[in-house]
Structure 1
Amino acid sequence: MRLSALFRVAVALLYGLGLSLASQAEENPASAPAATPQTPHIALLLPLQSKALGPSADAIKSGFMAGFERASSNALPYVVYPMADEGAEVVDTYQLAVRSGARVVVGPLTIPALKTLVDRQAISVPTLGLNTLSSEQPAPEKLYLLNLSGAAEARLVARKAWQAGLKRATTLALDSAVDQRMQQAFVAEWEKLGGTMVSQVNVPTVKPNYPSLKPMLAQCQCDVFFLATDATRARTIRPYLPPDVAVYATSQAYTGQIKSPANFDLRNLRFYDMPWLLQLDHPAVMIYSRSPVPLSLSNERLYALGIDAWRLAEKMLTHQSQQPLELDGVSGRLVLLPDGQFQRELTGAEIQNDEVRLLP
């Protein structure tokens, strides 16, 4: 880390990051003791000073603070360690947090930063990374991984469709990297389950010819379509699909509105999303405060991830490596797998006319 950046982080820890805690303490003195150097604490490492990642990092931080607000009176304080460039600063910032008393670290946010920590063998305390690693790079001991992976959601959708008795699938995806990853994950899981892949339809991102899908798919000989795309494209594609074939999608196809005329184009679509967005009146969701400022749908999900990150961090303080670790979270039911990854079980829903209805 550059000396100026290190100086800023050190000063923030000594003085400013006490501001983060001090402001919390003014609102809730019983649950937010002021932190001093070498005070045991939970560290939050995020690229808050990054122009590209700052808004996403800020949403996670705000959710993390909302989770802390519901903590017990004897909970450890948290300290925020902001970064501008996770790749250049992550090892120095991580080690600073540990030297300053961090018992658990939450972050970093990006795949390259996580890879750097693993490659440098820097993981020394229980750490909750907020992304994933490649399948060729297993998580070392003390590293746990929590994220909103679209590929993981696609695998979940494949399992749900299979459990519903469906056997023959056709996928539709644009030729973007995100859509292709979701499609590939669905196909791999579907074939692993024993399902038959009828076809994989790739729609051009530039000048797509959506009407041509209707005659192409009318004779698909499949019993389920998987839409590996976002809400805007899903709304455009859905009307061209045969009405008697089941349609499934990930949370990316959801507009975020429980009741809206925009849902008509997606009617009968089944999708899976977090309780934070689908079960607003659930007691376990209602106890956490919402963001005081409007958030985009993607940042609303990251806010919920931040809440669960705080809750998992508390559990990680006392977790033993061979023990199960689960959380009925607002971002989903979280279960720690043997590879260190938290699997999210999501809430199922179906769009009926203009309204989202929860699946039994």
Structure 2
Amino acid sequence: MIACLRPLSALCLAGLLVACSSSPSSNLGELPRTPQASVEQMLQKAGTSQSEDAQLLRLSAADLAAKQGNTERAESILKQVDLQLLKPAQQIYASTLKAELALARNDAKAALQALAHPSLDRLGELPVEQQIRTQLARANALEKDGQLLAAARERVFIAPLLSGDEAQRNQEHIWSLVSNLPAEPAPVADDADLAGWLSLAQVAKTVGTLKQQQDAIDNWLAQHPNHPAAQQLPKALADLRALSSKPLEKIALLLPQEGQLASVSRALRDGFLAAHYQAQQAGEQPPQIQLYDSARLTSLDDFYRQAKADGVQLVIGPLEKNLVTQLGSRAELPITTLALNYADPSAKSPAQLFQFGLAAEDEAREVARRAWADGKRSAVALVPKGDWGDRVLDAFRQSWQAAGGNFLGAEHIDQPVDMAGQVALLLQVNGTSRRQDVDFIFLAATPQQAQQIKPTLAYQYAGDVPVYATSHLFSGSMSAAQYRDLDGIRFCETPWLLNADDPLRQQVDSQWPQAGGSMGRLYAMGVDAFRLAPRLDQLKTLPDSRVEGLSGNLSLNSAQRVERQLPWAQFSNGQVQRLPETNIE
């Protein structure tokens, strides 16, 4: 069977599939066959001949070696084939195989280069099987190259040619691609099927309750009854619709009411209850809250037995690290639990355990994301001495290098008197000059340490080096004079502290003034624990969905840990100036 697809070099889809001639034109050439022979037998038969038959045997041998998983052998054989001696059909076959081998070694650029061969203009004249193979290679190369929309476009285009399991796998892959596109701005597509996929992805990312999200999907289905996704929803959306819509009726809030964590616990509790009260004022029917004192626990098993007897459907807490670690080591939990701290990341936690906290590692990853979006590519770091600084540095370095950034070195700051020397060492200051390959400094520091950074950089001929910091340098209660000492530093921060006009924050501030300072982050976390409670299943079923919180933009990773993406601000002339958001494809 022969079918026509547009040339691979085209970026836009146009027209419908049109049947072509059932036999190739005379100068197109034949595709390699699959003889019943081994790689060695085919190569032996081809010998040193440069005839068309010998070239076809070498192509078949290379293809067989690739199918057997021997990519090095396949590439070695393919190098013996001179594309200039091949006819267009054979050039397409060889270019496709070359792209597949490049993808096997994770070289997307080489794969796309192979698929840019002029012969690909005649792909539509080849049998459907070859068209599918070539187009899938291109889709995979675009995906690995980070061109998600273009990869989705390729897969949407070939979807009508597929059937059975292959069609279903392709459809799930399309969904994975479009759902990983940034939510804003929404991409535009001329093709109706692709446009439908993109709008479905937008619907799935709608922030709201489970029922609101299910209603949004139902509305999409009513508007797109003939779309391929309407015929068979992607598995994630089908699972979402199958989730029980039974409302969450009773929550246990498990926090210590005395001891070292009592003040932290009070802020979390008050933020949680403030959000609960706000929901009541808005006419909602929020779950009933029952308080339990984790400081008086004698046994987690006894607590869960009591909570279950009390009709609890979800546990929020505990806060204590040792209790969360105990939960993380269990095979399963009797009740779904959102812990307000983190267990050991190396442990395999039970399926019923979710974890949420103000992790400094989230902010380190956020710095890497923002700096990369701002076009920075080479970084150095200044972090405090000790375990906390090591964890923050590791999180930044891993995220930065995973994005492709160049990490040039770090210094662990401690005593103020040593800072000038450490900065000089880090920036390789020599006389009146410094290294010029540093795009920015990653800074994790207290407000007092941060106030010394800018004058120290100026002293070390590096006053023009951008500084990206975590929220720890911002107390929310410093004077304009102190802010001027931080002039130019960019930092990530919770929406709670950057948006004093938020109605819930104003309500909380009026009752607990300390919520306007650094303690405000804990009140925000309490609010977000309340907002997360009914949406944990949503976040688990749709990993790309998010909850707009006051401690950050919240999502769930594969370990069921809530991760935060934070907004950005900059110190400017004694004021805190909010920075515009960025998007990364």
**Structure 1 residue runs of 4 or more that deviate by more than 4 Å after TM superposition:** 285-288, 318-321
Deviation at 1:252, TM superposition (A): 0.6
State how 1:43-54 maps to structure 2 within 5 Å: 43-49=252-258, 51-54=259-262
Deviation at 1:276, TM superposition (A): 0.4
Structure 2 residue aligned with 1:25: none
Match of 1:293 among 503, 508, 512: 512
Structure 1 unaligned regions, length at least 5: 1-38
Structure 2 residue aligned with 1:212: 421
Instruction: Go from structure 1 to structure 2 and tell me whether the alpha carbon gap of 1:189 and 1:291 turns closer, same or farther (over 3 Å shift).
Output: farther
Match of 1:252 among 472, 478, 492: 472
Match of 1:60 among 258, 268, 274: 268
Structure 2 residue aligned with 1:76: 287
Rounded Cα–Cα distance in structure 2 between residues aligned with 1:108 and 1:183: 27
- The one-letter amino acid of 2:475's match is T
Higher share in helix? 2
Measured against aligned partners, the alpha-carbon deviations of 1:240-292 in whole angstroms (never above 9, x if no partner) come to 12111110011111131486211111111001011100011246x55753362
Query: Is the Cα–Cα contact under 8 Å of residues 251 and 272 in structure 1 kept in the other structure?
Result: yes
Q: What percentage of aligned pairs have identical amino acids?
A: 32
Structure 2 residue aligned with 1:115: 325
Rounded Cα–Cα distance in structure 2 between residues aligned with 1:215 and 1:186: 22
Rounded Cα–Cα distance in structure 2 between residues aligned with 1:91 and 1:229: 40
- The one-letter amino acid of 1:232's match is Q
Rounded Cα–Cα distance in structure 2 between residues aligned with 1:323 and 1:240: 46
2:376 matches 1:166: yes
Residue correspondences, number: 317
- The one-letter amino acid of 1:84's match is A
Deviation at 1:105, TM superposition (A): 0.7
- The one-letter amino acid of 2:491's match is F
Structure 1 residue aligned with 2:224: none
* Larger CA deviation: 223-232 vs 323-332: 323-332
Structure 2 residue aligned with 1:238: 454
- The one-letter amino acid of 2:262's match is G
* Larger CA deviation: 253-262 vs 285-294: 285-294
Measured against aligned partners, the alpha-carbon deviations of 1:65-86 in whole angstroms (never above 9, x if no partner) come to 1011112442221011012266
* Larger CA deviation: 291-300 vs 133-142: 291-300
- The one-letter amino acid of 1:61's match is R
- The one-letter amino acid of 1:64's match is F
- The one-letter amino acid of 2:529's match is A
RMSD: 2.4
Query: Is the Cα–Cα contact under 8 Å of residues 304 and 331 in structure 1 kept in the other structure?
Result: yes
Instruction: Go from structure 1 to structure 2 and tell me whether the alpha carbon gap of 1:209 and 1:322 turns closer, same or farther (over 3 Å shift).
Output: same
SS of alignment partner, residue 139 of structure 1 = coil
Deviation at 1:109, TM superposition (A): 0.9
Deviation at 1:42, TM superposition (A): 0.6
Measured against aligned partners, the alpha-carbon deviations of 1:88-137 in whole angstroms (never above 9, x if no partner) come to 54443233222211111100113321121232445222211111222211
Query: Is the Cα–Cα contact under 8 Å of residues 90 and 108 in structure 1 kept in the other structure?
Result: no
Match of 2:387 among 167, 177, 185: 177
Structure 2 residue aligned with 1:227: 443
Instruction: Go from structure 1 to structure 2 and tell me whether the alpha carbon gap of 1:64 and 1:75 turns closer, same or farther (over 3 Å shift).
Output: same
- The one-letter amino acid of 1:77's match is Q
Structure 2 residue aligned with 1:346: 566
Higher share in strand? 1
Higher relative contact order (CA 8 A, sep 6+): 1
Instruction: Go from structure 1 to structure 2 and tell me whether the alpha carbon gap of 1:206 and 1:258 turns closer, same or farther (over 3 Å shift).
Output: closer
- The one-letter amino acid of 1:155's match is R
Rounded Cα–Cα distance in structure 2 between residues aligned with 1:334 and 1:269: 25
SS of alignment partner, residue 79 of structure 1 = strand
Query: Is the Cα–Cα contact under 8 Å of residues 539 and 555 in structure 2 kept in the other structure?
Result: no
- The one-letter amino acid of 1:328's match is E
Max radius of gyration: which structure? Answer: 2
- The one-letter amino acid of 1:76's match is P
Query: Is the Cα–Cα contact under 8 Å of residues 416 and 449 in structure 2 kept in the other structure?
Result: no
**TM-score, structure 1 as length reference:** 0.81
Deviation at 1:349, TM superposition (A): 0.6
SS of alignment partner, residue 71 of structure 1 = helix
Match of 2:549 among 329, 334, 348: 329
Instruction: Go from structure 1 to structure 2 and tell me whether the alpha carbon gap of 1:235 and 1:78 turns closer, same or farther (over 3 Å shift).
Output: same
Structure 1 residue aligned with 2:496: 276
Structure 2 residue aligned with 1:128: 338
Deviation at 1:176, TM superposition (A): 2.5
